[in-house]
Homo-oligomer: A and B are copies of this chain.
């Protein structure tokens, strides 16, 4: 096993939950951390200064989307992704694998990579492990990830074959990497199958990466199945390196997956819900299009300190949502991101104080109490 640059410092554990610091060329990232998603080099409806005010310490951008538009070479010419999007904090780019495999009939797979058609104009493109590393080196994020194949989670035979490709590609990505200022994460795959997940974690840790992503979850399997996989993967991964659970990050996920040894989370939910008039709260979700909010002078969530909750009523945000006003998206996005960023910070403090279990119990107690109250 190669020893990687020591990017990550584990500060405390509480059960399987971990608190640490991830060092990057653009600053430190305290973990556990929620990473807002900036698919097209912008977190939808939220400016970089608002992200800073919210306490975001790292954001995600999508290799597939930026490769197609405006182009990774253009971004490199313009000084790289940080300068391009005006965000001077750490950035992680995904491999584009998930997006390409989501294209279904628009892509063709072989041992060396995948050929696909653009969702924008139908033009043909090809991603290989080397290509995906080159694209991510052009973008210039602090953390890049290997090309992987995100397989249908319940098909064992398919997962065996996909895993073989993902592992070969991981080796090739590591070999292709030329920039020393970028950390490279491997991606553990294997569907819902404990033996494949264990095998994948071992294979990748033997290659040796700067961190490990867990992919192919939250794609249709149950929470129980996801948790079971995390329980399998957690002990297989080195304690002194970060673990990133890809595409997962509801309030409940932050609590339960931190409890299973995960350090980094991302999810489009907070900004996607916002565009549909949805608010996340600690005790459930609100649909602001609902008529019951028409005269509600209260904030989205009682006690929340975000800009939306301290300045505007549910009635106003409902009005904005019904009138299709962009400010509605903006305020709901701010609130939803604030909740997840705040919860990740709270969880970290609780782990450092050795009080994570009581935080976790309190979280579920409050949720159940609200559920019971709503039933009455």
Which residues does A use to contact B, with CB under 8 Å? 40-42, 44-49, 69-70, 74, 77-79, 84-86, 294-295, 297, 307, 311-313, 315-316, 318-320, 322-323, 325-327, 329-331
Residues on B with C-beta less than 8 A from A320 are 40, 42
A294 touching B41, Cβ below 8 Å: no
Residues on B with C-beta less than 8 A from A329 are 326
B77 touching A295, Cβ below 8 Å: yes
B40 touching A323, Cβ below 8 Å: yes
Residues on B with C-beta less than 8 A from A48 are 311
**A192: min CB distance to chain B, Å:** 35
Q: Please, could you name 6 A-B residue pairs with CB atoms under 8 Å apart, sorted by A?
A: A70-B322, A74-B315, A78-B313, A79-B297, A84-B315, A86-B312
- Contact partner, A326, options B77, B315, B323, B330, Cβ 8 Å: B330
Residues on B with C-beta less than 8 A from A79 are 297
A330 touching B47, Cβ below 8 Å: yes
A46 touching B327, Cβ below 8 Å: yes
**A50: min CB distance to chain B, Å:** 9
A297 touching B46, Cβ below 8 Å: no
**Given contact pairs A77-B295, A295-B77, A326-B330, A315 touches B70 in the complex (Cβ within 8 A):** yes
A86 to B306, CA, bound (A): 14
Q: What copy number does this chain have within its complex?
A: 2
Most buried by B among A40, A294, A295, A327: A327
B315 touching A45, Cβ below 8 Å: no
B78 touching A307, Cβ below 8 Å: no
**A72: min CB distance to chain B, Å:** 12
Nearest chain B residue, comparing its CB with the CB of A68: B323
Nearest chain B residue, comparing its CB with the CB of A297: B78
B312 touching A70, Cβ below 8 Å: no
B69 touching A319, Cβ below 8 Å: yes
Residues on B with C-beta less than 8 A from A42 are 320, 325, 327
Residues on B with C-beta less than 8 A from A40 are 319-320, 323, 325
A318 to B327, CA, bound (A): 21
A295 touching B74, Cβ below 8 Å: yes
- Contact partner, A313, options B84, B318, B322, B326, Cβ 8 Å: B84
A323 to B121, CA, bound (A): 13
Residues on B with C-beta less than 8 A from A49 are 307, 311
A323 touching B44, Cβ below 8 Å: no
- Contact partner, A294, options B70, B319, B327, Cβ 8 Å: B70
What are the nearest 3 A-B pairs in CB distance? Answer: A45-B326, A86-B311, A42-B327
A217 to B1, CA, bound (A): 77
A316 touching B85, Cβ below 8 Å: yes
**A196: min CB distance to chain B, Å:** 37
A314 to B347, CA, bound (A): 40
Residues on B with C-beta less than 8 A from A295 are 74, 77-78
A86 to B84, CA, bound (A): 33
Residues on B with C-beta less than 8 A from A78 are 295, 297, 313, 315-316
A319 to B66, CA, bound (A): 10
Residues on B with C-beta less than 8 A from A311 are 48-49, 86
B315 touching A44, Cβ below 8 Å: no
**A44: min CB distance to chain B, Å:** 6
B69 touching A323, Cβ below 8 Å: yes
A325 to B326, CA, bound (A): 11
Nearest chain B residue, comparing its CB with the CB of A324: B40
B319 touching A70, Cβ below 8 Å: yes
Residues on B with C-beta less than 8 A from A47 are 307, 327, 330-331
**A37: min CB distance to chain B, Å:** 13
Given contacts A46-B327, A49-B307, A326-B330, 14 further A-B contacts (CB under 8 A): A40-B319, A44-B325, A45-B326, A70-B319, A70-B322, A74-B294, A78-B297, A78-B313, A78-B315, A78-B316, A84-B319, A86-B316, A326-B329, A330-B330
